[in-house]
Structure 1
Amino acid sequence: MASNTITIAAASSVGSDVFAVLSLLVISLGVLLLLRHYLPLRSTPDYLLVPIFLALALPASIILLVPIDLASSSRDEEVKVKAIWLPERVVLVSWRITYWLTFALTWFILPLLGSYADSGHRTLRDRFLYSLRENGRYQLIVLGSASIGLVYFFVQSGFHLMSLKGLVMALAYCWALTLAIYLMGHGLVALPRRLLRNASISGRLRRLQIQAPKVYDRLNDAIEELGSLELQVEQLRRRKTGSAVQFHDWIDELAEMSTLPESRVGSAPTGILDPAGSSIPSVITERYLADLTRKLQRARHARVRFIDEWDHLVEEAADTQAILDAHTSHRLEFGKSSPSSSFLSRLTLLTPYTRFQLHAHIIPYIRLMLGTFLSLASISIIWSELVKIANPKLSIIALTVVHHRRQGTVGFAGQCIASAWLLYMCTAALTSISDAKVWGNRALVRRNTYGESACWYAMQIAKLTVPLAYNFVTFLPPEIYQETTYHKFLGRLINLTPLGKGFDYFFPILILIPVLATLFNLYGKIKNLFGFGILEVDDQGEEGNLSGYGTGGWREGRELIERELQGYSSTQGIASRSAGLSNYSSGRTAGTTGTADGGGAQAGRPGIGRPNTGTSLRVQDRYRDSDDPNRRDSLEDEGFFEGFAHRVRNTFETTDTPRWVSNLGESFKKPKWLASSSSTGHGEGGGSSGNQGGGLARWFGGRPTDGHVRL
C-alpha cells in the first residue's frame, strides 16, 4: 500500500518535472543570448564563458526554484491546489547544488579568473601566480576577520563541523545581504523615477544633453591615455640595445595591436620619446612589461566602452529630437538605423504616421503607467520589510502570494506572483550597480566587454541573488516559510547563534537609508558639500544650473551632439555617424516643440567650437522679431516667473483684435459736446492742424500752441 502511494505521488509530479525542465532550458537560452549581446563568443576563451554562464544561469534559476519550494513545502494532498511542485529530496539537492556552486563561483573561481584575464603576463604560470597574489591578499583579510566570528561560533555552539559550516554561510550571507539591501533600496526609487522622467520626450532630450559633456570628456581622456601608452610601446620598439632586446617579441606583439597613427608618433612629447625620459625606465623588466600590457588592455577597452556609450547617447538624442520635430508633420523617420538600435526603431512595418503615434504617444504613456506600477511595487516591498517584524500577515507580498490562507498553501497564481516580486527585487539591486561609482572602470559593452569586467558583473549577480531570495521568503508568515527547504538548508544555519537570529529581521529595516537618500538626492548634496560623489542619479545635480558652462550644462551637450552629427568630432578619433542621423541638425527648425537652444560651449574644452545654431525655439516663440543677441541670451537665462510673465505679455501683444470689437464704435455716435468746433468742415472727430482744441478742451481754455502751457 505504501509503495502504491509513493508511485502515485511520483507520477503526479511528472507535469511539474516537465515544466521545470522546460523553464531551465528557457533560462539557459536567455543567458546565452545575454552573453552573445555583451561578449564576443568566438574570441572569448572557454575558461571564461563556462563560469560566467553558470554564474548567470544559477541565480536566474533561483527565481524559479523559490516558488517551487514554497508550493512543495506547503502542499497538502487532501487539499487540491494547482501548483508546480517537486519532491522534497529533489528540491533539497537542487538547493545544495545551486548554493554551493554559486558560493564557489562568487568567492573563488570568478575572482581568480578575472585576475587571470587581467594579469598582462604571457605564460600560463605567470598569469596564475599573479591571480593568486592578487586574490590572496583579499582572502587573507576575509579569513582574518572571520577568525573573530569563528571563536564566537565555537563558544556558542561548540567545536564541530556544523559550527564551521554555519560560520561560513552566515558571514557570506550577512555581507551579501548588506550590499543587496543597499543596492535594492537605491533601485526601488531610481528605477520607477527613471521611467516616469523618460515619459517626457523633451525632458529625456535635456537629460541626454546634460550627460553628453561628461561622456565626451571621459572619451577624450580614454583616447589620450591610450595614445600615451601606445607612444611608450613605440619607443620601446625603437630600442635596439639594452634590456629591451630580450623582450623584443613581446614588444612587437604590443606594437602590432597599436592603433596610433604615424603622425602622432612624430608629434609626441619629448618626455615620452626620449630614451632617458621618466616614462620609460632604463632597465626593462618582465614586471614592467606585464604592467604595461595590463594598462594597454584596460585602456583599449575603456576607449571602446566610451565610444559605444557616446554613440548610443548621440543616436538616442537624434531619435528623441526627431520625435519632437515630427509633432508638426505627424510623420516620423529615423533614417538609417545602426546595429545598436532598438527593435522598435528598426521596425519597418510601421508607416511614418503610425511610427510617430507609437513613439510620441503610446510609448510615453506606457512608461508612465509602468513607472506608476513599479512605484506602487516599491512601496509594497518597503512596507513588507518594515512590518514583517511586527505582523507578517500585514505584508503586501504575503497577501499577494498566499491566496489559500486557510489551508496555508501556495498555488500556481501565487508562484507566478512570487517570481515577479523576486525578479523585481533582483532587477532593482542589479540596475543600481551601474549607478554606483565605487567599482572602478568596469562596464558592460555591447559585443566587447572586457573579460575581467564580465567576471566581476557575473560575480555580483551570483552574490546578490541568494540573500535577496531568502529575504523575500521571510516576507511570508512564519508557518509557511519555516517549512520550506530553503529555510531548513540556509536559514537554520544562519540562526545557529543568537547573533544571527535577529539579523535577518532587524537589518533589512536599514533599507530606509538608501531609499531616503535617493528620494531626496542626498548624494548630490554630499557631492556638493565634499566635492565628490558615490552615486550619480541622472541629472539631479544639473537641473539647478541650466545655463552654466564648464559644468556640463545642457547647452554644451547640445552643441557636442550637433557637432558629432555633422562630422566635426571625427578628428578626435570618434566613430562617424550614419547619414540618417544628420536629420537631427537639419530638422531642428522644422517644428516648434523642440527644447531650448542657444548659448555656446566651454571655451577650454578641446576640439569644441561654437557653431551658429541660431536662437532657441523657445525664444523664437517669445520674441520672433528680436535681433539683439544680448537680449536673447538674457532671456534664455531668466527664471521661471520671468519666463511666465513674458509668455503672458507675448500672448496679449501678439493677439489680433477681433473684428466685432473693431466695428463696435460704428454703432455709437459721439455727442455734440464731445465733437470738435470745426467738425462740420473736417468730418466727425476731425479738425485742422491749427485747431486750438475741441470738445472738453474748450472748457479748459483750449489746446496751447507752440509748446506753451495755458493757465
Structure 2
Amino acid sequence: MLEITSKSSPIGSTIFALCALLVISLVVLGILRHYLPLRSTPAFYLVPIFFALWLPSVVVVLVPIDLASSAITDDDASRGMWLPERAILVSWRITYWLTFVLTWFLLPILAEYSDSGYREPSAKLAYSLRSNAQFMGMVLLASLLGLIYVVISYGFNFASLKGLVMALGYVYGLVLAIYLMGHGLVSIPRRLIRNASITGRLRRLQTKAPRLYERMQDSLVNLEELEYQVSELSRRKVGSAADFRDWIEELQEMADVGEHHAPPTTIDPTSNRIIPTVITEKYLADLTRNLMRARHTRSRYVSQWNHMIQEAAETQAIIDSAASKKLDFGDADPHAGLWERTRILTPYTRHMLHFQVLPYAHVLLGLFLAASSACIVWSEVIKVAFPRLSVIRFTVIHHWSKDKAEVGFAGQCIASFWICYMCAAALITMTEVKTWRGRALVKRNTAYESAFWYALQVAKLTVPISYNFMTFLVRRVYTKTVFYKFFGESIDLTPLGRWFDDLLPVFVLLPVVATLFGVYGKIKRIFVGLDVVEDEEENLSAFGTGTWREGRDLIERELRGNTTGRRQDAFTRLASATGNPSHSAPVLSIPSARRQGTSPARSPVRPALASNSNNGRAGQSSRTSRLEEPEDDNIFAIIGHRMKNTIDTIDTPRWMQDFKKPKWMGGNDDAESGPQPQERPGGGERNNSDIRRWFGGDSGIRL
C-alpha cells in the first residue's frame, strides 16, 4: 500500500470527498428546512441538530473510503476513492468524538431544556439537568461496573478507560439498532409491494381514517381544555397570580384566548378546581409545557389528516381514470412545493405513469429490497460460523490479487448502499414506534424536543450499524482499516466484548420474525392498551378502530366539506394561533364539493366516491366490485369469493331444480309451504348456500 500511494496522488479523491461533504450539507439543510422553520429556530438549537445529522452522513462516506484505502487495488482504472491514513484517522476522531458528545450530553440536555416550560434560562437548565440525572446515574453505574471488570482484567490506564467508554456506547447503540433494523428490513419492502395495489392502498387509507380522526378529535379536545384553563387563569388578578402576571399574559397570547373563553363540553363550568388556589412557578411551567405539547400534537394529527385526505382523493382519481384513460389532479395547492406545481406530463401519460408504471416499479423495488433484507439477515446469522458465505462480502470485494482482497470504486458504491439501507431500516422504524411520548416529525412545525430526539437517534445508531456492516466482510480486510484500529480494537479488548459483538446480531431474527408474522398485533390484542412497534397497514380490522366503510364515509364527508362547526372553528384558529400568518403551522382547508364536469383537483380535492358521467358505467361498476370486498381480507376469504362468483354465474340444471331436499337435510317435502328459492337476475334459481363460509366468510365456521 505504501508503494502504491507513493506513486499516486490523492488529489482526485480529496476533491471527491469535499464535493460529497458539500452535497451532504445541502441535503441536511433541506431536511431541516422541511421539518423546522429555520428563521424562527434559535441558532443554539439549529446548529447541534445540523451536526447530529451531518456527522452520521459523513460516516456513510468515510467507511467506504477507509475500506478502499486499506485494501487498495493495483489497477488504476478500478481504484476507488482513497485518502492517506493520517487524514482518515483525524476524520474518524473528529466524527466519533463529536457524535459521542452530542449523543450523550448536548442533545439530551437541549431537548429537555426546550421542553421545560420555564421562562428563565437558569430554571430551564436546572430542569433539564434534573430530568437527565436519572439516566445519567444509570449510565455511570454501568460504567462503574464495566470499569471494575476492565481494571481487574487489564489494569487501569487511559487506553482501557477509552476502550470502556467506546464499548459501552457501542453496546447500547447496537442493541437498539438490531431491534429497529430487524423491523425495518421487513416493513420497507412489504409496504412497497402493498402500495402496488391501487385499490388496496385506498382501502388501507380508509381503514386508517377512523383511528386518525379519533386521535385528531382527542387532540383538539385536550387543547381546548388547556386553553380554557389559561383563560380562567388570566381572570385571576390578585393573590399569588399577581406575581406571575407577565408569564400568564404570555400564556394567554400563546393560547390566543380571552378572559371570557367558552368552556369546552368536557369541563364543568361550575367546578372550582380548574386551577389551583395557589399559583406556583412549577404549576405555570407544567401548564406551559402541556400547552406546547398539545399544540404540536394537534398540528401533528391535523397534518396527518390533511395528507391522508389528499392521498385518498388522488388515489380515487387514479382508479377513476381507468375508464377515460386520462388523469388530471387539477390545480396544485398554492402552498405546495415547486415540484408539485410543475406540470410536465399530459393527462394520458400521467394516467399511464400512475396506473401502469408506478405499480410495477413498486413491486420491482420491493422485491429488490426484500432480497437485500434477506442478504443482510443471512450475513448477520452466519458471519461467525461461516464468514465466507456472507453475500455482502461478495458484493463489496470484487478484486482478489492472489490471497489479497481489494476494494474498488464499485465496491465502495455498493458498501454505501448497504450502510444507507441498514440505517434507513432502523430509522424508519422510529416513525412507527408508539412508545416515544408522542414524538413525531411534522412538516415545518416539528417540536424542538422531537427534533432533538430524532437527531439523537440518528447520531446514536449510525456508528454501531456501520461497524456491524464491516464485520460482514473478511476479517483480514476490515482489521486493516483505520476504523477498526480506532474503534474496533476497543470492542475486541475483552472476551466479553468479542462475544457480544459476535452473537448479539443473531437476535435480529426476533424482530424480523415478529414483524413478518404479525406477532406485535397479536400481543397488542392480548394486552389491550399496550403500545408496541406495529405496522399500521397490518392492523386493518383491529378492534375499536372502525371499519373501512366508516373511514370511507369520513373521507367523503371531509372532501364534501360536511364537517362539524366546532372542528371548523378549531381548524380556523390553527393558522392564527401563532399570531403570524406566515408561520409554518399547517392549516386544514375544508374543500368544497367537486362540481360535475370538473377534473379531479388536487386543491380542492374532489369527493372520494362521487360518480361522474364521463367515467362510464363500466368504470364505476368495476371500481365498486373491487372495493366492496369483505373486511376479513385473508387469502381463504378471497378464494371463497372468487369461487362463489364463479358458481353463481352457472345456470342451475333442470334436474337439480326438480330435486327436493329430505327433511333430515333441512328441506321440506311440501314445496308450497317452504321458502321459495331466490331467483337470479339472469334466470334460474340461486342456491342459498354460500361457499365463502368454508373459507372464513360470513359464517362463524372458519378454517
TM-score for the superposition, normalised by structure 2: 0.82
2:253 corresponds, among 236, 245, 256, to 256
Amino acid at match of 2:275: I
Amino acid at match of 1:21: L
Change over 3 Å in CA distance of 1:497–1:370 after alignment to 2: same
Task: Give, in angstroms, the shift of residue 584 of structure 1.
Answer: 2.9
Deviations 1:376-432 (A, max 9, x none): 100111111112112222111110100112331100010011001111111111101
Match of 2:332 in 1: 337
Change over 3 Å in CA distance of 1:620–1:215 after alignment to 2: closer
C-alpha separation in 1, matches of 2:255 and 2:460? 37
C-alpha separation in 2, matches of 1:595 and 1:256? 51
Deviations 1:615-655 (A, max 9, x none): x9229999xxxxxxxxx99xxxx95466335522554579x
Kept in 1: contact 2:52–2:459 (CA 8 A)? yes
Q: Which moved more, 1:587-596 or 1:415-424?
A: 587-596
Kept in 2: contact 1:117–1:451 (CA 8 A)? yes
Change over 3 Å in CA distance of 1:467–1:440 after alignment to 2: same
C-alpha separation in 1, matches of 2:643 and 2:72? 68
Kept in 2: contact 1:202–1:595 (CA 8 A)? no
Amino acid at match of 1:564: E
Change over 3 Å in CA distance of 1:640–1:90 after alignment to 2: closer
Match of 1:561 in 2: 555
C-alpha separation in 2, matches of 1:435 and 1:167? 33
Deviations 1:131-168 (A, max 9, x none): 11111221012112222111111111111122221111
Deviations 1:341-391 (A, max 9, x none): 687754411111111111111111111100000011001111111121122
2:504 match: secondary structure: helix
Kept in 2: contact 1:196–1:367 (CA 8 A)? yes
Match of 1:322 in 2: 317
C-alpha separation in 1, matches of 2:365 and 2:448? 34
Q: Which moved more, 1:397-406 or 1:336-345?
A: 336-345
Kept in 1: contact 2:435–2:531 (CA 8 A)? no
Kept in 2: contact 1:106–1:459 (CA 8 A)? yes
Q: Which moved more, 1:337-346 or 1:521-530?
A: 337-346
* Correspondence list, 1:473-492, <5 A: 473-492=470-489
C-alpha separation in 2, matches of 1:619 and 1:102? 51
Q: Does the alignment pair 1:418 with 2:415?
A: yes
Q: Does the alignment pair 1:225 with 2:232?
A: no
Amino acid at match of 1:382: V
C-alpha separation in 2, matches of 1:397 and 1:285? 60
Kept in 1: contact 2:555–2:608 (CA 8 A)? no
Match of 1:612 in 2: none
Q: Which has the larger Rg?
A: 1
2:105 match: secondary structure: helix
* Correspondence list, 1:113-152, <5 A: 113-152=110-149
Match of 1:535 in 2: 533
Match of 1:64 in 2: 61
Q: Which moved more, 1:7-16 or 1:178-187?
A: 7-16
Match of 2:520 in 1: 523
Change over 3 Å in CA distance of 1:591–1:27 after alignment to 2: farther
Change over 3 Å in CA distance of 1:255–1:651 after alignment to 2: same
Change over 3 Å in CA distance of 1:499–1:641 after alignment to 2: closer
User: What's the RMSD between the two structures over aligned residues?
Assistant: 2.8
Q: Does the alignment pair 1:103 with 2:116?
A: no
Structure 2 unpaired stretches of 5+: 572-587, 593-600, 653-703
Match of 2:646 in 1: 648
Change over 3 Å in CA distance of 1:488–1:244 after alignment to 2: same
* Correspondence list, 1:401-550, <5 A: 401-406=396-401, 407-531=404-528, 532-543=530-541, 550=544
Deviations 1:419-466 (A, max 9, x none): 011111111111011111111110000000000000000000000000
Deviations 1:21-78 (A, max 9, x none): 0000000000001100000000000011100000001001111000000011112669
C-alpha separation in 1, matches of 2:312 and 2:498? 51
Q: Which moved more, 1:399-408 or 1:487-496?
A: 399-408
C-alpha separation in 2, matches of 1:270 and 1:398? 63
Amino acid at match of 1:55: A
C-alpha separation in 2, matches of 1:196 and 1:596? 26
Kept in 2: contact 1:338–1:578 (CA 8 A)? no
Amino acid at match of 1:584: P
Q: Percent identity?
A: 50
Task: Give, in angstroms, the shift of residue 535 of structure 1.
Answer: 1.4
Match of 2:302 in 1: 307
Q: Does the alignment pair 1:551 with 2:545?
A: yes
Change over 3 Å in CA distance of 1:619–1:195 after alignment to 2: closer
Kept in 1: contact 2:73–2:399 (CA 8 A)? no
Deviations 1:100-128 (A, max 9, x none): 00011011000011111111111111111
C-alpha separation in 2, matches of 1:451 and 1:203? 36
Match of 1:701 in 2: none
C-alpha separation in 2, matches of 1:448 and 1:652? 59
C-alpha separation in 1, matches of 2:426 and 2:640? 42
Kept in 2: contact 1:327–1:591 (CA 8 A)? no
1:357 corresponds, among 352, 361, 371, to 352
Change over 3 Å in CA distance of 1:200–1:641 after alignment to 2: closer
Kept in 2: contact 1:181–1:508 (CA 8 A)? yes
C-alpha separation in 2, matches of 1:619 and 1:223? 35
Q: Does the alignment pair 1:158 with 2:171?
A: no
1:617 corresponds, among 610, 624, 648, to 624
Task: Give, in angstroms, the shift of residue 340 of structure 1.
Answer: 7.1
Kept in 2: contact 1:199–1:367 (CA 8 A)? yes
2:286 corresponds, among 271, 291, 296, to 291
1:408 match: secondary structure: strand
Amino acid at match of 1:500: G
Match of 2:164 in 1: 167
Kept in 2: contact 1:588–1:594 (CA 8 A)? no
Task: Give, in angstroms, the shift of residue 502 of structure 1.
Answer: 1.9
Kept in 2: contact 1:334–1:345 (CA 8 A)? no
Q: Which moved more, 1:555-564 or 1:35-44?
A: 555-564
1:46 corresponds, among 25, 43, 53, to 43
C-alpha separation in 2, matches of 1:254 and 1:538? 36
2:234 corresponds, among 229, 233, 237, to 237
C-alpha separation in 1, matches of 2:194 and 2:335? 23
1:257 match: secondary structure: helix
C-alpha separation in 1, matches of 2:116 and 2:54? 27
Change over 3 Å in CA distance of 1:112–1:125 after alignment to 2: same
Kept in 1: contact 2:231–2:260 (CA 8 A)? no
Kept in 2: contact 1:382–1:511 (CA 8 A)? yes
Amino acid at match of 1:648: T
Match of 1:204 in 2: 201
C-alpha separation in 1, matches of 2:73 and 2:647? 74
1:448 match: secondary structure: coil
Q: Which moved more, 1:335-344 or 1:478-487?
A: 335-344
Kept in 2: contact 1:115–1:130 (CA 8 A)? yes
Amino acid at match of 1:538: E
TM-score for the superposition, normalised by structure 1: 0.82
Kept in 2: contact 1:119–1:294 (CA 8 A)? yes
Task: Give, in angstroms, the shift of residue 277 of structure 1.
Answer: 2.3
Structure 1 unpaired stretches of 5+: 598-615, 623-631, 655-711
C-alpha separation in 2, matches of 1:533 and 1:248? 40
